[in-house]
């Protein structure tokens, strides 16, 4: 008695194949767009004998995981509100100035400060790449699954002030306390009024144990006189400064490279 060879569903004639239209409808209903996008290519591989049954299912599942990871990353980047979504370390020229603390910056790229709930303070003259590095650190954190928010400090203070006016201050403070990393650009630019100092005090206190990245044109030691109440300044800044990695961004300004009429260079960091 002759045994007829068995054939898999993938090897059968087209008439015996599962109705692709019905399968595609099922994938859409299950919101498996990653499988749907690559289904034709994976079927072609299976028909060619490149994929067995389990391999076929595994690669389809991996396609779906990759799509979801990509979408989640895109959403986190959107929520971060970076000024420049292209401000990454891939676009940063560490050799631009011998005064740049390249070793310190590369150490921060390991994100140990994030896992420890520590802060980073980038300070120094204007145009030395502080904002670029701050956003690049935030971008790295996003790629590692963290929620990040980027704000100009003046915008944060204005937002909290608006919360006092419309009685949403507590909600706004909770929203600012929630992300794993809060980036405050242009910190300590000018003297604070008492209400602003109090709001910063509450914000820093609410984020105890959570990471922040600050950029400033002033050294941390020069922040104290900007607060109208020395007691508030001492309490806030002692908590912030002593739990931070401080990086002095020194060197020539990169802003002349962006002067109108000059050829743009892709390996120069953003200003600040």
Q: Report domain extents, the chain.
A: 16-79, 81-258
Cα dihedral sign for 174, 175, 181, 187?
negative
Paired tokens of 263: 């050829």
pLDDT for residue 9: 45
Sign of torsion over alpha carbons 109, 111, 114, 119? negative
pLDDT of residue 258: 55
Q: Identify the pLDDT of residue 272.
A: 53
Q: What are the pLDDT tens digits along the chain (272 aa)?
A: 444 444 444 444 444 345 778 778 878 887 787 777 888 888 888 888 888 878 878 888 888 888 888 889 999 999 999 998 889 999 788 887 888 999 999 999 999 999 999 999 999 999 899 999 999 999 999 999 999 999 999 999 999 999 999 999 999 999 999 999 999 999 999 999 999 999 999 999 999 999 999 999 999 999 999 999 999 999 999 989 988 999 999 877 665 555 555 544 444 444 45
The helix, strand and coil proportions of the chain, stated in percent and rounded to the nearest 5, come to 50, 10, 40
β partners of residue 182: 149, 212
Q: Record the tokens describing residue 156, joined without a space.
A: 């944060």
pLDDT at 105: 96
| CATH level 2 (architecture), domain 81-258 | 3-Layer(aba) Sandwich (3.40)
Q: pTM score, two decimals?
A: 0.78
Using alpha carbons, list the distances in angstroms from residue 189 to 146, 149, 185, 204, 215.
28, 20, 10, 17, 10
Q: How far is CA 107 from CA 101, 257, 268, in A?
A: 10, 27, 20
């Amino acid at each position: 008695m002759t045994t007829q060879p068995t054939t898999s569903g993938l090897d059968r004639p087209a008439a015996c194949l599962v109705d692709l239209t019905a399968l595609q409808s099922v994938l859409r209903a299950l919101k498996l767009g990653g499988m749907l996008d690559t289904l034709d290519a994976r079927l072609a591989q299976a028909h060619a004998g490149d994929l067995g049954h389990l391999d076929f299912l595994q690669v389809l599942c991996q396609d779906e995981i990759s799509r979801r990871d990509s979408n989640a990353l895109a959403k986190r980047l959107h929520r971060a509100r970076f000024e420049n979504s292209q401000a990454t370390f891939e676009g940063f020229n560490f050799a631009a100035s011998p005064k740049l603390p390249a070793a310190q910056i590369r150490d921060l790229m390991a994100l140990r400060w994030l896992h420890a709930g520590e802060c980073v303070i980038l300070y120094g003259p204007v145009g030395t790449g502080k904002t670029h590095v701050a956003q690049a650190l935030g971008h790295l954190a996003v790629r590692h699954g963290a929620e990040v928010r980027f704000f100009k400090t003046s915008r944060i203070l204005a937002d909290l002030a608006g919360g006092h006016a419309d009685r949403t201050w507590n909600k706004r403070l909770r929203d600012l306390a929630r992300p794993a990393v809060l980036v405050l650009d242009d910190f300590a630019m000018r003297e604070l009024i008492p209400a602003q100092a109090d709001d910063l005090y509450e914000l820093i206190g609410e984020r105890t144990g959570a990471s922040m990245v600050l950029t400033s044109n002033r050294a941390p030691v020069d922040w104290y006189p900007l607060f109208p109440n020395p007691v508030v300044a001492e309490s806030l800044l002692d908590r912030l400064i002593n739990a931070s990695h401080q990086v002095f961004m020194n060197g020539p300004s990169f802003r002349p490279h962006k002067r109108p009429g000059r050829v743009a260079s892709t390996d120069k960091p953003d200003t600040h």
